[in-house]
Structure 1
Amino acid sequence: MALYIGLGCLLLAVALAAVALMLRPRVTAAGSLALIETSYSAAVVSSQEVAQSPSWLRSLGLRLSPAGVASRLQHRLDLAGNPPTWTPDRVLAFKGMGLLLGGALGALLTFRSVGWLVVGLCVGAVFGFFLPDLLLVNAGQKRQEKIRRALPDAMDMLTVCVEAGLGFDAALAQVARNTNGPLAQECARVLQEMQIGKSRNQALRALTERTTVAELRAFVSALAQAGELGVPIASVLREQAREMRVRRRQRAEEQAQKVPVKILFPLIACLFPAMFVVIIGPGAISIARVLMSL
C-alpha cells in the first residue's frame, strides 16, 4: 500500500513539473535583447512617482514639440547614460511644467506694465520649456567627454590583454571589470548584447549610436574592417592605441595653447586697473595738488 502511495506521489510531482515547464515563458534572444534595451533605456518608476507627473503636463509638452520628439529624447538619454528615473515621458512632463512655471516667474519679475508683462511671460515660458533639453544635452556632453578621456587608457589595456593571449571578448570583459566610468558601462553593455545573441559587429555598431566620440567611432570602424579583411586584431588594436595616445597629446597641447587667450581678459579686467592705480595714482595726486595750488 505504501509503495502505491509513493508511486502516486512521484507521478503527481512529475506531472506538476511538466505543467510548470509548459507554462513557463520561453526566453528567446529577441526577448532578452528587448529586456536589456528596456533596462538601460527606461527607468523603473513607482506608482507614486508616476502620480507626481500628471499626464496633461506630458500632453502639453508633446503638443508644443515637433514630431518625433520621443525618439530624439531617447537618443539624448542614451548619450547621457540613461540617468535614473529619466524617461522621454518624464522629460516631456518637465517641459510642460517648466513652460508654466517659467511663464509665471517671468510675469512676476516683469510686473510693471502690460508690455513688460507679455515680454516676461514669453521669455520665461520659452526658457522653462527648453530648460530640460539644455540639462539633458549638458549631461550627455559631460558623459561623452568622460568617455573620450578614458578611451586611450582603455585601449592600452585592451591591447595588452589581446597581445597576452586573451580573446577580444575576454579582453573587453577585463576593461569593463577593471575600469570605472561611462566607458566601462558601455563595454559591459556590449558584452551583454554579445552574450544574448548579437554579433560583435552589431553590438559595436549599436555602441556607436550611443556615443558622439569620433575616436570610438573610428575604432569600431577599424574593427569591422579588420574582421571583414581578416587582419589580425592585435595589430589593429596596437595601431588604434598609438593613434589615440597621439590624439590625447594633441588635445593637451591645444588646451595649453588656449590658456594665454583665456587669461588675457581676466588680466585686463582685474590686474591692469590695479597697476594703473599704483603707477599713475601718485602722479595724478601730485598734478591735482599743483593745479589746486594755482
Structure 2
Amino acid sequence: MKKWGYHIILLVLTILTLFAPTQTLAQTARYENLSSRELVQLLNEECERGQMANCYEAGQMYMGAESEASKSKGRKLIQKSCQGGHENACEFLKGGLARDTGSDLLFYSSIGLIGLAVYLVTIMMFQDEEEFKASEKLEEGGKKSGPTENYGIVLRYSKPFFKRYVTPIVSTMKSKKKIKDKYKRKLASSGLTDVLSPEDFFSFKIFLIVGFPIVFFGVRVFLEEDWPLSMIPIIAAVGFVYPDIWIKGRIQMRQKEVIMAMPFCVDMLALSVEAGLDFVAAMTKVVEKAKKTALSEEFETMIKEIRIGASRAEALRNLAWRIDLIQTSSFCATLIAADSVGASIGPILKALSLEIRQKKSSEVEKAGATAATKILFPMLFLIVPAVFIVVAAPIILELVTGPK
C-alpha cells in the first residue's frame, strides 16, 4: 500500500510540474492564426498596457524588418522593456541573446530537467531508509565501498547522492544487464571495482545531468553574471559525457603505470621462481616487495582468486581481461601455455623479463627520436620569432631613425 501511495504522489507531482509549461503553450497557440501585422498591433497594444514581455516581443519583430525606421522602433521597444525590468531585453541589448527568450531546445530541456529533479526529490522524500540499507548490504555483501578521496572532487561529493537516490532506480531498470556488460570492464581496467558498480557509474552519469546545471546556475547567481541560460542543455550534456571521459583518462593512466612496473615485477617473479618458490608464493613475494602500483594490485587480486578456488589459467585470463593491454595479454598467454604443457615457468619468466626490458628500451629510444620532431614546432613559432626580434629590432630602428 505504501508503494502505491508513493507512485501516486510521484505521478501527481510530475503532472503539476509539467502543467505550467503546457499552459504557456496554450497561451501562445492563440497567436498562430494572426497575421504578422495583426500580431504586431496586438503586441503594441499590450505593451502600452505595461506588459514588458510583449514590448520585447514586438521589438524583436520590428528588428527583423529590413527598413531602418522599423529597426529603430524595435530598439526603442526593447529599451523600454529593459527599463521595465525585462531581463531578456537587457541581455539582448548587451549582446547576450540573438533573438527571443529561449529556443525550443532550451524550453523542452528545462522541462525535462525539472521533471527529473522532481522525480529525484520525491524519491528522497519517500524512499524507505531501512529498505535501502538492506539492499545495499545485500548487493555489497556487507563490505564497505572503497574511499573516493583519491578519485576527484566530482565523484567525492556526488557519490552520497547518486548512490542513495539514483542507483536504486537504475537497479530496477530492464536494461540493467546491458549496463553491466557495458561498464564492467571499464571499471575493472580503471581500478574502480571497489568504488563503483556498473549501476553506480550509470547513476553517476544521470546525476550529473542535473548536477552540472545546478552548479552552473549557482555560480551564475553567486557571481551575478549574465551568462545565457541557453547553455544549460549543453552543460547537462557535458555532465552526462564527463564520467566517460574521466574513466577513459584513468584507464590510460593505469595502463601506463602497469607498463612502467612490468620489468621489475617480472624480474622479481622470475628470481623468486628460480629460488624454489611456487607460482603463488612467488606472486605473493612480488606483492610484498614491489612498490605499490596498479600491477601489484592486480597481482594481489589474482592471488585472491587462486586462493578461493580459481585455476591458475583462469586467474591469468582474468588478469589480462582487467588490464586490457597487449603486453599483459602476451605475458598471461605465455604462462597459460607453459602451465598447460607442464613446462617449468622459471626459464620462461626469465625470457619474458628480457623481452619486456628490450621492448621498453626500444620504446624509450623511439620516444627520444620523436622528441626532436615534436619540439620543432614550438621552436619555429615561439623561440625563432623571439630571437629574430631581438637580433633584427636594433637594425630596423637604426634604418628607420637614421644614423646619429
Give 2:300's match in structure 1, choosing from 177, 185, 188: 188
Aligned partner of 2:184 in structure 1 is 74
Listed as ranges, the gaps of 5+ residues in structure 1 are 1-36
Tell me how far apart the structure 1 counterparts of residues 370 and 258 of structure 2 sit (CA, whole Å): 22
For the 8 Å contact 2:317–2:332, the answer to whether it is kept is: yes
Which stretch shows the higher mean deviation, 96-105 or 225-234?
Answer: 96-105
Structure 1 residue 52: deviation in Å?
2.3
Task: Report the 3-state secondary structure (helix = DSSP H, G, I; strand = E; otherwise coil) of the residue aligned with 2:323.
Answer: coil
The equivalent position to 2:340 in structure 1, one of 205, 228, 238, is 228
Alignment pair present for 1:95 and 2:205: yes
Per the alignment, residue 168 of structure 1 pairs with: 279
Q: Amino acid of the residue matched to residue 161 of structure 2?
A: Q
- Mapped to 2, the partners of 1:42 and 1:251 lie a distance apart of 41
- Tell me the alpha carbon deviations over residues 200-232 of structure 1, each in whole angstroms, 9 at most, x when there is no partner: 101111111101221111011111111222332
Find 1:264's aligned residue among 372, 376, 401: 376
Match of 1:151 in 2: 262
Q: Which amino acid aligns with 1:216?
A: T
CA distance in 2: counterparts of 1:279 and 1:199, whole angstroms:
71
Pick from 309, 323, 328: which aligns with 1:211? 323
Could you tell me the TM-score, scaled by structure 1's length? 0.72
Letter in 2 for 1:77: L
Contact 2:179/2:202 (8 A) holds in 1 = no
SS in 2 for 1:249: helix
Q: Contact 1:78–1:210 (CA<8 Å) still a contact in 2? A: yes
Q: Counterparts in 2 of 1:21-100, with a 5 A limit?
A: 43=145, 52-53=161-162, 55-56=165-166, 68-82=178-192, 85-100=195-210
Deviation of 1:235 (Å): 1.9
**Structure 1 residue 69: Cα displacement:** 2.6
CA distance in 2 between counterparts of 1:51 and 1:99 reads: 16
Q: CA deviation at 1:50?
A: 7.3
Q: Over residues 250-278 of structure 1, what are the superposed CA-to-partner deviations in whole Å (9 max), with x where a residue is unaligned? A: 11112111211222232233312221111
Q: 8 Å contact 2:269–2:349 — kept in the other structure? A: yes
Partner of 2:238: 127
Cα distance in 1, alignment partners of residues 167 and 342 from structure 2: 54
Q: Which deviates more, 257-266 or 189-198?
A: 257-266
Residue 299 of structure 2 aligns to which amino acid in structure 1?
C
CA distance change for structure 1 residues 38 and 106 in 2, over 3 Å: closer, same or farther?
closer
Give the superposition deviation at 1:93.
2.7
CA distance in 2, matches of 1:234, 1:201: 17
196-205 vs 160-169, which moves further: 160-169
CA distance in structure 2 between the partners assigned to 1:50 and 1:125 by the alignment: 18
Check 1:51–1:286 CA distance in 2 against 1; reply closer, same or farther (3 A cut). Answer: closer
Contact 1:162/1:234, CA 8 A, preserved across alignment:
yes
TM-superposed deviation, 1:89: 3.1
TM-score by length of structure 2 reads 0.54
Aligned-pair identity in percent equals 25
Deviations 1:121-146 (A, max 9, x none): 33322211111111112112211211
The corresponding residue for 1:252 is 364
Secondary structure, counterpart of 1:176 in structure 2: helix
Going from structure 1 to structure 2, the CA distance change for 1:253 and 1:105 (only over 3 Å counts) comes to same
Q: Which amino acid aligns with 1:99?
A: I
- Report the secondary structure of 2:352's partner residue: helix
Q: Displacement, 1:111? A: 4.3
Structure 1 or 2, whichever has the larger Rg, is 2
Q: CA RMSD in A?
A: 3.4
Alignment CA distance shift 1:155-1:96 (3 Å): same
Q: How many residues align?
A: 246
- 1:56–1:83 Cα change, 3 Å: closer
Distance 1:275 1:122, change over 3 A: same
Shift in Å, 1:61? 12
Deviation at 1:288, TM superposition (A): 1.9
**Secondary structure class of the residue paired with 2:324:** coil
Corresponding letter in the other structure for 1:259:
A
CA–CA separation in structure 2 for the residues paired with 1:141 and 1:203:
23
1:281 maps to 2:390:
no
Query: SS where residue 228 of structure 1 aligns?
Result: helix
Aligned residue for 1:52, secondary structure, equals helix
- What is the CA–CA distance in structure 2 between the aligned matches of 1:50 and 1:280, rounded to whole Å? 59
Residue 184 of structure 2 contacts residue 198 of structure 2 at CA under 8 Å; is this kept in 1? yes
Cα offset, 1:66, TM superposition: 10
Unpaired runs of 5+ in structure 2? Answer: 1-138, 148-157
Hey, what's the Cα distance between the residues in 1 that align with 2:167 and 2:267?
48
**Residues 250/270 of structure 1: CA separation in 2 closer, same or farther (3 Å cut):** same
Q: 1:57 to 1:43 in 2, by over 3 A?
A: closer
Within 2, Cα distance between the matches of 1:143 and 1:241? Answer: 20
What is the alpha-carbon distance in structure 1 between the residues aligned to residue 257 and residue 281 of structure 2? 23
